[in-house]
Amino acid sequence: MKADTQVRGRIAPSPSGYMHLGNAFSALLAWAFARSAGGSFVLRLEDLDERCQNPVYAKGLLDDLSWLGIDWDGEPVVQANRVPAYEEALERIASRAEIYPCFCSRADLHAASAPHASDGTPLYAGTCYSMDADERETRAAGQRHALRLHVSDETIGFVDAIQGPYEQNLARECGDFVLRRSDGVFAYQLVCVVDDIASGVTQVVRGSDLLSSTPRQILLYELLDASIPEFAHHPLLLAADGRRLSKRDGDSTIASMRERGITPETVIGYLAQLAGQAEEAEPMSARELAGIFDASKIPTRDMTVDLSCLEA
Ligand code: GLU
């Protein structure tokens, strides 16, 4: 098969804690998608949020990825260095769409009796959108505020490479969304799109918890006149009690597996089985997985992990 050198994949982890098995699953799938097509792969640290600024976690992440055999091309992109690019993108969007200051506090947002958006956040009731223009200007000069993008009553759909067709009416299911938070930090939706465009990413593989963000992101691609990448949202790994695997599940961190003497091949073999790539959890390297990878075999439903499968 001829390598498709056009594919450029990425992972964009938030270094807010030690990498756990769910993060490793996500990284491995994104990497295998790109590498199995002979493509390149970018690593970006989504570190704008204060919780992500502990260098121990960023270093741990790079070490754990390397231990697993997941490599990347070039230097990691660090969002903390990219604020001017976000400011410029915000201006470009503002020249083509309506961005307005929002003074609502978190409590205001929860108190508003709006229905909930598909990802569980309250649907913004448009309080500050309907504010009188003079009042808005006076308040914006002296009061901390977020910046929201006004969305129109339009449905944005796409075909996800794992989940199939997905669509959302932005006005009804999402509402006007934040591009810059009231603490001045640029919002995930904006920075993710600006960075994926800047890195030339053609393929976004990530957890299905972000499926409902994708229509908003597609709108931003359109407003920034950029080509829209392929999207693939994989199922999530759950702890035995049905919660999403998280940093709190200490035994599931890659660091603790390394300490317990578990090999990277054992971890990859187990993740490959969960991803539908192998019948049994036979040890294999990341490279071997890329060699047999078949995206059409990835299941769509979330899966409960059994960490005892990793013990010798
Ligand atoms: N930073 C996000 C996370 O760690 C991922 C964002 C993305 O892949 O678009 O969940």
Going from N- to C-terminal start, the domains of the chain cover: 8-82+192-310, 98-155+168-187
At residue 169, the pLDDT reads 96
Ligand 1 shell residues, CB under 6 Å: 12-14, 46, 192, 206, 210
Q: What pLDDT is stored for residue 132 in this prediction?
A: 93
Largest distance between two CA atoms of the chain: 68
pLDDT of residue 107: 82
Whether the Cβ atoms of residue 196 and residue 224 lie closer than 8 Å to each other: no
Where the chain has pLDDT below 70, the residues are: 1-5, 113-114, 117-119, 312
Architecture of the 98-155+168-187 domain? Alpha-Beta Complex (3.90)
Report the nearest-CA residue for atom 6 of ligand 1: 12
Task: For the domain made up of 8-82+192-310, give the CATH fold.
Answer: Rossmann fold (3.40.50)
User: Residue 213: its pLDDT value, please?
Assistant: 97
> What's the confidence (pLDDT) of residue 59?
96
* Contact predicate 204/155, CB 8 Å: no
Question: Residue 114 has what pLDDT?
Answer: 67
**What residues form DSSP beta bridges with 164?**
160
Report which protein residue has its CA nearest ligand 1's atom 3.
13
Whether 98-155+168-187 and 8-82+192-310 are alike in CATH topology: the answer is: no
Q: What pLDDT shows up at residue 179?
A: 98
pLDDT value at position 66? 98
**How far is ligand 1, taken at its centre, from the CA of residue 75, in Å?**
18
CA 139 to chain centre: 33
Q: Ligand 1, closest atom to CA 192?
A: 9
CA of 145 to the centre of ligand 1 (A): 25
Question: What is the reported pLDDT for 301?
Answer: 96
User: Ligand 1 atom closest to Cα of 10?
Assistant: 8
Would you state the pLDDT for residue 152?
95
283: exposed, middle or buried (C-beta count within 10 Å: 0-12, 13-18, 19+)? Answer: middle
Residue 276's Cβ-count burial label (10 Å; 0-12, 13-18, 19+) is middle
* Exposure class string for 75-95: b at 16+ Cβ within 10 A, else e: ebbebeebeebbeebbeebee
